[in-house]
A and B are shown apart, each in its own frame.
Chain A
Amino acid sequence: MAAPMDVSGENVRKFIKQGAEAKVYAENFYGRPCISKERFSKGYRHPTLDKSLTLQRLKAEIRAMSKCRNLGIPVPTLYFVDTSTSTFYMEEIVNSQTVRDYIVSIQTSDPDGAMQKLSPLAEKIGKILSKMHCGKVIHGDLTTSNMLLRGDPSDLDIVLIDFGLSFSEGLAEDKGVDLYVFERALLSTHPNTEELFKVVIEAYKKENVKESADAISKLDEVRMRGRKRTMVG
């Protein structure tokens, strides 16, 4: 442990982001760079109900991360959970960029070769999502911002973050919806990524042929529903 004797060391919290459910900060946890995430209450809910819902969400997030760790899917190391303020502290994935930023940079620097360059990344994503779903973890908010690439992007060392909407479920329906959420997020954030999503799905299938078939047919169903909804609305 490199940190010296330090009795006075004051922690400096740096605000990073305010989401719909939580505030995210960067700070230091006994010498390690750390990200803290504080769920705040929703003013419009009854205080008692609000408190129990917030705690449930917090628990679900911690459990999903721990399940992923068990499954061999990289997630940040957990440092501390403070239930009294609904805050948890985790490892900051240093020297990383979001998959979102990486895709944008490749598409910008090499529009024609982007599909080919990004293909291994898409494969890796499909593989990870398949593993996660086989372990009955539904992420709930799959976007390219909730996937970090650690170190050199070509290492494809993906770390999943933000399990704030996750739950534990083995139903094909939930897996299909999880994939659909990711498809929408990918296509709406990054132009011309239809082919890339196909690569994700192919790898998803290949990782676990037996279990993935149902999830993918559910994905097709959910897509149809989604389309109908947009035609009506």
Chain B
Amino acid sequence: MDFKVTHHLYPNFSITLALYKDVTNMEALRQCVMKGEFEATLLKPSMICDPFIVLTAANRAVYLDKTNKMTTKNVHSEVLYCLSPTKNITDSFRKFGVGDKDNSVFIVLLNDLDGAKMEFIKSKIEGCQISIDEVSNFKDETQVKKIYKVTDLEVNTCSLSDVIVSRVASKEFLTV
């Protein structure tokens, strides 16, 4: 049920996305990432309107890693930073990172061509995997619009998801 693609520019790098609901050990999962037991990006599903937005952010994060232009310390945290509209790292983590009390999580795993890392992560999750497309059922649209400062004028011409995709893709060029 994972969604896996290779990076647009670097075919030797993979991007894997997975969505879990009814997770009962979120705090422990977060600890695993913080202690470096495994590397992954754990996102808050309510902030994601469309998996394609995450893909756009992951695509950029890998590119920034490859070209030595990352802002954060590793490529998995860079995904989170790329997803966030602000240049404040702490704030990005707070808004887009999963919280201990959350019971659903959107996972991004980079550079796992053979799938071994994902197997390991899955063995740690106590929860139920569902299709990434179901993430739209979790979204808090009001909050998303507020955080990305999306105006009605913008969503007149294209979908909310596309507005955000463009924002994510152009982050370094926009003065906030």
Contacts and interface: CB of A to CB of B under 8 A. Distances in A.
Nearest to A32: B52
Interface stretch (B122-130, B137-145, B165-173): B165-173
B117 to A, nearest CB: 14
Interface in B40-75: 50-52, 55-56, 59-60, 63, 67
A118 to B, nearest CB: 23
A9 interface: yes
Given A62-B170, A71-B153, A82 B9 contact: yes
Q: How large is the interface on A (under 10, 10 to 19, 20 to 34, 35 or more residues)?
A: 20 to 34
A108 interface: no
Contact of B51 (A1, A32, A65): A1
A1 B132 contact: yes
Contacts of A70: 151, 153-154
Interface in A60-90: 62-63, 65-66, 69-74, 77-82, 84, 89
Contacts of A9: 5-6
A123 interface: no
A201 B39 CA distance: 58
Contacts of A72: 153-154, 156-157
B102 interface: no
Contacts of B120: none
B36 interface: no
A74 B153 CA distance: 10
Nearest to B2: A5
A174 interface: no
A77 B6 contact: no
B8 A6 contact: no
A52 interface: no
B49 to A, nearest CB: 12
A7 B52 contact: no
Nearest to B132: A1
B121 interface: no
B3 A80 contact: no
Contacts of A82: 9, 63
Interface in B5-50: 5-6, 8-9, 11, 14, 50
A30 B5 contact: yes
A82 B59 CA distance: 11
Contact of B5 (A6, A66, A91): A6
B100 interface: no
A12 interface: no
B85 to A, nearest CB: 12
Contacts of B63: 80, 82
Interface of A: 1, 3, 5-11, 29-30, 32, 59, 62-63, 65-66, 69-74, 77-82, 84, 89, 91
Interface of B: 2-6, 8-9, 11, 14, 50-52, 55-56, 59-60, 63, 67, 113, 132-133, 151, 153-154, 156-158, 162-163, 165-167, 169-170, 172-174
